Amino acid sequence: MAAGVLPRPVRRRLLCLGRDLVSLPGRLKPGARPVPWSSLHDVGGGEFHTVGRAILNSLVNEAGLTPDDHVLDIGCGTGRVAFALADYLTTKGCYTGFDVAPGGLAWMIRHLPPAAAPFRIVRADVFNTEYRQKTKTRAESYRFPVSDGSVDVAFATSVFTHLLPADAENYLAEIGRSLRPGGRAYVTAFLMTPERRGPAESGAAFVTFHPFGEVAHVGDLNVPEAMIAFDETVFMDWVAKAGLELVPPVKYGHWSGGGPKPGQEFQDVLVLRKTLHAAGAAPVMSVREQDRLGFDG
């Protein structure tokens, strides 16, 4: 049977198994840092800790993260960036990460190194065709496990590419609710523009996207959350509605072909800032205040 005919979950498993076999010698080296199996953490290329540190650098350089910040990791997976943050954050800082996939979270909790900052890891009981089917709760109504205005820097790497339109709109609104005025978010996505739309030229783009509803495009119509792109103008409308503004420019990734150019990421990267005077801006509650009030998400 040709690989393309196999159902997606089987194809995914086989691909992960192949990657895990290739990585086995490195995992068995004495002193090797723990790395999750691909079946738990399937995020494509790059070494787990190296990519985690690179994302941390981007958070510092592009989103202004400092060691004393409260940082929110949206869809933290197996904690690729949390490992780097464990070394980086001070006792004044704080980490909150949440995800829908319990297996990845369990691995993360088991392997995270000791950190000076408090780390809070939350399982979001939310449905996702690709990552969690054993619940009916939808991401479009999920409330992030943090208080209004309590987060300095939020980030979501390779998460909006797995959210349906209503989910993505809600997650942007939740970022807006969670950030303090002036706080920043670092978000990756596939942004569809007129130039990128249409059947991909052979070999140009890594995937052919199909129209999905009014505002989205998906790689697989049977599993839309496997890979989803949003019309850029609609995405930017959601950003504005959430009380956020773009810190220009959008750094377009090479997913649509023609790359990579030096330093170019695969997905599109956006840095967003919570506007200072958003209408109805939520009052700021510090993490310590949340702890005093016994807030536990």
Ligand X SMILES: C[S@@+](CC[C@H](N)C(=O)[O-])C[C@H]1O[C@@H](n2cnc3c(N)ncnc32)[C@H](O)[C@@H]1O
What residues make contact with ligand X under the rule CB under 6 A? 43, 75-77, 80, 99-101, 104, 124, 126, 128, 131, 139, 157-159, 162-163, 167
To ligand X, the closest distance from the beta carbon of 201 in angstroms equals 26
What CA–CA distance (Å, rounded) separates 33 from 30? Answer: 9
Residue closer to ligand X (CB basis): 202 or 222: 222
Reported as type and span, the H/E element at residue 120 is strand 119-123
Residue closer to ligand X (CB basis): 207 or 284: 207
What CA–CA distance (Å, rounded) separates 50 from 48? Answer: 6
To ligand X, the closest distance from the beta carbon of 194 in angstroms equals 27
User: Strand 119-123 and strand 94-99: pairing?
Assistant: parallel
To ligand X, the closest distance from the beta carbon of 77 in angstroms equals 3
To ligand X, the closest distance from the beta carbon of 2 in angstroms equals 26
Report which of 110, 34, 13, 126 is spatially closest to residue 74, judged by C-alpha positions: 126
Residue closer to ligand X (CB basis): 77 or 224: 77
To ligand X, the closest distance from the beta carbon of 283 in angstroms equals 25
Torsion region of 53: left, alpha or beta (phi above 0 gives left; psi -120 to 50 gives alpha): alpha
**Cis omega before residue 249 (within 30°)?**
yes
* Ramachandran angles phi, psi of 228, nearest 5°: -135, 140
Residue closer to ligand X (CB basis): 12 or 92: 12
* Ramachandran angles phi, psi of 8, nearest 5°: -55, -45
To ligand X, the closest distance from the beta carbon of 41 in angstroms equals 6
User: Strand 244-246 and strand 191-192: pairing?
Assistant: unpaired
Residue closer to ligand X (CB basis): 126 or 281: 126
Torsion region of 176: left, alpha or beta (phi above 0 gives left; psi -120 to 50 gives alpha): alpha
Residue closer to ligand X (CB basis): 39 or 275: 39
**Closest-CB residue for ligand X?**
77
Structure tokens at 222: 């049977």
To ligand X, the closest distance from the beta carbon of 179 in angstroms equals 17
Report which of 238, 242, 247 is spatially closest to residue 279, judged by C-alpha positions: 242
Residue closer to ligand X (CB basis): 43 or 60: 43
